[in-house]
Structure 1
Amino acid sequence: MKAIVDPGNVLAEGLSAIRSQYQVPAGFPPAVLAAAETAATRAPTAHVDRTDRPFVTLDPIRSTDLDQAFAIEASGSDLLLHYAIADVAWFVDDGDALDVEAWKRGTTLYLPDGKAGLYPPSLSEGAASLLPAGPRPAVVFTVRVAGDGAVRLDGVERAIVRSRAKLGYETVTDADLPPGFAELARRIAAAEAARGAARVDPPEQEVAERGDGRLALEFRTRHLSEDQNAALSLATNLAVADALLAHHTGLFRVMAEPDPAAIERLRNTARAFAIDWPEDQPLAAFEPRLDPTDHREAALMLAIRRAGQGASYAPWQEGVVPWHAAVAASYAHATAPLRRLADRYVVRAALAVANGQPVPAAVTEAFARLPKVMARADALAGQIDRAVIDLAEAAMLQGREGEIFAAGVTDVDARGARMQLGALPVVTRIDANGAAPGDAIRVRLIDADPGKRSVRFERVD
């Protein structure tokens, strides 16, 4: 779960209840753990030696499940991104205990107090993770990035790689990164702008203890290196999608544009935060100007992230161009196989088509089954996400009963008026009482109950 972090573990009791309610796995069955231990000893035999390339990783400093490592080199005016992805399929066979358990889970589930992994730690944080502890098997995607940010998949190979450094967003310096890193990210960002892409990456929220003993939701500083690093993954996923489309196969991440009602709610949210959004400016043009270091604009970015109609997965279909509105392109997930089940199969398909081989039947069959499995996993992750946010909001507001807050009505339906508090990243409902979308109102906090993960307000004007 990426929206809330709880460094002080002040939400421990509530998080335990969430884990119980949503049956978040506490570990793995013994047979799966045993299979992982055996698989971790499997020696790579189908991999070329690329340990001479200066790969590095860049992640949150405490991360140990490292899906990606990268090296960059110039090729005339182009840049070549060598993007090494954990070769999970080398360790997991179709139908084995690891595979069966992964199909049950679908994704790694993240909560502020820990995660429930897709694979056991002996793989996800050990033999398959691209840690600098030693050589690792990987699938290396070579992506050519032109001066205008256009991408093309030049090759895919199984390789042995060795990360030279485990870099962290919080501590990395320009000198730590390979030459061309910032320029490659700039090219990808320029191409996004030219396409009219509307990706939003709001900062994480943190639960902090204030000096008066109360809790507060604050936005963690988002580092430039995070956005630059995300560009590498985006470039690879775009190039993979194009390659799979050209070979009439694949599994794609698709998402429709936010509908007019969602756009109007976002405009009302902007009004609640006193953020100027010109009426004639579309969302895609407005988003890039938002500043994640401003708490109001960061909260609006979070609202935008949650306002879409929801992304899903779709297998290749004759005559259908899969489209992801936020990316403004066809898009595939291939770069996080330690954390997402679908990526393992997309990687296998890309490896096949890039080397002139048929896509394995098991992969094609998986593409047909995966949308339902991933939808179920994404829905569970979303429910947990919402529960954690509700818990954090209630904990933050507990003890402030009776206080009056400024708010803005974002929309009204049969369940009442949905409102956004003006000074806090809290969205909740209140009796409509004649309220209309866009109204500025004042509300009094009646109750905040972390145990029930609920807050209750009443309108005072």
Structure 2
Amino acid sequence: MKTIVDATNVLNQGLAAIRTEFQVDASFPPEVLAAAQQAAARVPSAHADRTASPFVTLDPATSTDLDQAFCIEPSGHDLLLHYAIADVGWFVDDGGLIDVEAWRRGETLYLPDGKANLYPPVLSERAASLLPDGPRPAIVLTVRVDPGGAGRLDGVERAIIRSRAKLAYDTVRPSDLPASFAELARRVQAAEAQRGAARVDPPEQEVTARPDGRFELAFRPRLSSEADNAALSLVANLAVADMLQAHGTGLFRVMAEPEEKAVQRLRISAKGLGVAWPDAMSLEDFERALVPDDPRQAALMLAIRRAGPGASYAPWRAGAKPWHAAMAATYAHATAPLRRLADRYVLRAVLEIANGRPVPAVAAQAFEALPAVMDRADSIAGRIERAVIDLAEAVLLSGKEGSLFRAVVTEADERGGKVQLCDYPVVARLSAKGLTPGAVIDMRLAAVDQLRRTLTFERAEAAAA
């Protein structure tokens, strides 16, 4: 982790420039805000009363757009996960002002100094958010998780819930959580390993604001509380996907297997980094054995993530089985409707199916149109994230021109390659011939352009691995 000293306020100016460049609109048109204000006053009338159930939420401490709350109870050898998802659809009229604006945005966009919400804050951070300050409408997915970690939907209903606590990843204690929380997460994670899933989360390169107004650039490994909480979303999304697939409808998250050439390049990287990868071990098993606390293994985890083809959305098609290679399963997004447009329609479909009703035509039509909308939104979010990191790296290394840096080559092509600096959380591009993935090299920082968010490195003498 490195603190960014930004005496001339370049970072804040750069973030403002990124917002302009990518047309990040944190505000909403007055008519949309007015419609949201009216929608927030709606009193639910089609919801069961589940306020007696001990739901809690678990999120980053500063989050106010809370999509999920949960409680867990035993049922013989199974565990019942009651997973309450914010009922955004209760507040949003099809074709109305809020709906049209959400289709324009696609998803919430995040920057270190704020975000651009998918829905107006009066909904996404108040009336529809599962905060512990009063009853909230939700769609409750009841997922039965067997001892082997497989889940299926036992029921879906609209319900009023009341969260008992807003728990945070970095401060939560086991005693704050339902008694079976850790066991449920263990079951789901064991099932992942059993089916050969490769959902391994490398440390994230991120920029965060500090209370003193400065920023930090860091590789942040996922906390165990985050991983366990993600298991709840995972088993719910898998169960939703199974129900949609069985009924011949839905929208799925799909991803292809990495190409064999990419796997061979990764084996070379592992050898260069000094990380043992037995010939007989698959990429999936190898990934699960890596630990983010080791800098070389963390660099390799990032290389594996970049080697994949990326995920996209696809509607159900007769005769085709949607597949997510990293999950090793059929998978759907349903558990973050405050932040992703597609989830609202997936929830709507599964609510009807589970209760013996046909999927509304508006949802079926949305499944055909959503892939283009969501892929565009995902692309913009990814480009913004990379631009923010490029900016932070430029500010962090400004004034160090002429200095030598040791780095590991993580990717190489005919034009050069990508390198991971050994002493800074920085991933950079190096234009140089003869780079070999896994090689440890020395580079000289030739130039920093904070306005263009670029670092220019030159190859120095070769370094011993």
Please indicate, yes or no, whether the TM-score normalized by the shorter chain is above 0.5: yes
Give the drift of 1:208. Answer: 8.3
Q: Which residue of 2 aligns with 1:181?
A: 181
| Residue matched to 1:31 | 31
User: Aligned partners of 1:260 and 1:444: how far apart in 2?
Assistant: 34
The answer to whether the Cα contact below 8 Å between 1:290 and 1:301 also exists between their aligned partners in 2 is yes
CA contact (8 A) 1:48 1:158 kept: yes
Per-residue CA shift, 1:348-404, capped at 9, x if unaligned?
000011011000000000000000110110111111111112112222222222222
Call closer, same or farther: CA 1:184–1:167 in 2, change over 3 Å: same
* Native 8 Å contact 1:333 1:343 kept in 2: yes
Displacement of 1:173: 0.5
For 1:358, the aligned partner's letter is P
Q: Distance in 2 between matches of 1:422 and 1:282?
A: 27
Partner residue of 1:332?
332
> Given the superposition, is the C-alpha separation of residues 267 and 390 from structure 1 closer, same or farther in structure 2, using an over 3 Å criterion?
farther
1:197 CA drift (Å) = 0.6
Structure 2 Cα separation of the partners of residues 372 and 291 of structure 1: 35
Moved beyond 6 Å, runs of 4+: 3-10
Does residue 262 in structure 1 map to residue 256 in structure 2? no
- Name the counterpart of 2:248: 248
Are the aligned partners of 1:203 and 1:292 in contact in 2 as well (CA < 8 Å)?
Answer: yes
Q: TM-score, normalised by structure 2?
A: 0.92
1:403 corresponds to which residue? 403
Residue of structure 2 in register with 1:419 after alignment: 419
Tell me what 1:56 maps to. 56
How far apart are the structure 2 equivalents of 1:114 and 1:298? Answer: 28
Q: Check conservation: 2:47, 2:160, Cα contact below 8 A.
A: yes
User: Could you say what secondary structure the match of 1:320 adopts?
Assistant: coil
Q: 2:49 is matched by which residue type in structure 1?
A: D
Asked if the contact 1:7–1:206 (Cα under 8 Å) also holds between the matched residues in 2, the reply is no
Per-residue Cα deviation, 1:160-217 (whole angstroms, up to 9, x for no partner): 00001111111110110011000000000000000111112234445589xxxx9873
SS for the counterpart of 2:132 is coil
State the partner residue of 2:378: 378
**Structure 1 position 165 matched with structure 2 position 202:** no
Q: Deviations over 1:231-285 (max 9, x none)?
A: 0000000000000111000100001122234334444554565433344432211
Q: Which moved more, 1:389-398 or 1:354-363?
A: 389-398
Q: For structure 1, which segment, 34-43 or 301-310, has the greater mean C-alpha deviation from structure 2 after superposition?
A: 301-310
Aligned match of 1:444: 444
Counterpart in 2 of 1:95?
95
Deviation at 1:441, TM superposition (A): 2.6
How many residues are paired up?
456
How many angstroms apart in 1 are the aligned matches of 2:216 and 2:60? Answer: 23
Counterparts of 1:304-343 in structure 2 under 5 Å? 304-343=304-343
Secondary structure at the aligned position of 2:27 is classed as: coil
Instruction: Give 1:324 deviation, angstroms.
Output: 0.5
Say if 2:4 and 2:392, in contact at 8 Å, map to a contact too. Answer: no
Provide the rounded CA distance (Å) in 2 between the counterparts of 1:267 and 1:216. 32
* Structure 2 unaligned regions, length at least 5: none
For residues 6 and 109 of structure 1, what CA distance do their matches in structure 2 show? 23
Q: CA 1:384–1:266 in 2, change beyond 3 Å: closer, same or farther?
A: farther
8 Å Cα contact 1:412-1:432 kept in structure 2: no
1:437 and 1:298 mapped to 2: Cα distance? 15
1:433 & 1:306 partners in 2: Cα distance?
21
- Return the TM-score normalized by structure 1: 0.93
Query: How do 1:60-71 residues align onto structure 2 when only pairs under 5 Å count?
Result: 60-71=60-71
In the TM superposition, what are the counterparts of 1:147-158 in structure 2 within 5 Å? 147-158=147-158
Residues 448 and 456 of structure 1 are in contact (CA less than 8 Å); yes or no, is this contact kept in structure 2? yes
1:448, distance to aligned residue in structure 2 (A): 2.1
In 2, Cα distance between equivalents of 1:398 and 1:4: 13
Q: Which moved more, 1:16-25 or 1:448-457?
A: 448-457
Deviation at 1:16, TM superposition (A): 1.1
Cα separation, 2, equivalents of 1:195 and 1:25: 42
- Kept in 2: contact 1:5–1:206 (CA 8 A): no
Q: Tell whether the 8 Å contact from 2:2 to 2:425 is kept in structure 1 after alignment.
A: no
Residue in structure 2 matched with residue 198 of structure 1 by the alignment: 198
Q: Within 1, Cα distance between the matches of 2:85 and 2:215?
A: 39
Q: Distance in 2 between matches of 1:176 and 1:454?
A: 45
Aligned twin of 1:142: 142
| 2:106 aligned residue | 106
Cα distance change on mapping 1:425 and 1:137 into 2, 3 Å: same
Q: Is the 8 A contact 2:46 2:158 kept in 1?
A: yes
Residue range with higher mean Cα deviation, 276-285 or 223-232: 276-285
Alpha-carbon shift at residue 5 of structure 1 (Å): 11
C-alpha distance in 1 between matches for 2:60 and 2:245: 33
**d(CA) in 2 for partners of 1:66 and 1:368?**
28
Taking structure 1 as reference, are residues 440 and 302 closer, same or farther at Cα in structure 2, changes over 3 Å only?
closer
Deviations 1:411-430 (A, max 9, x none): 43343333333443433332
Helix, strand or coil at the partner of 1:164: coil
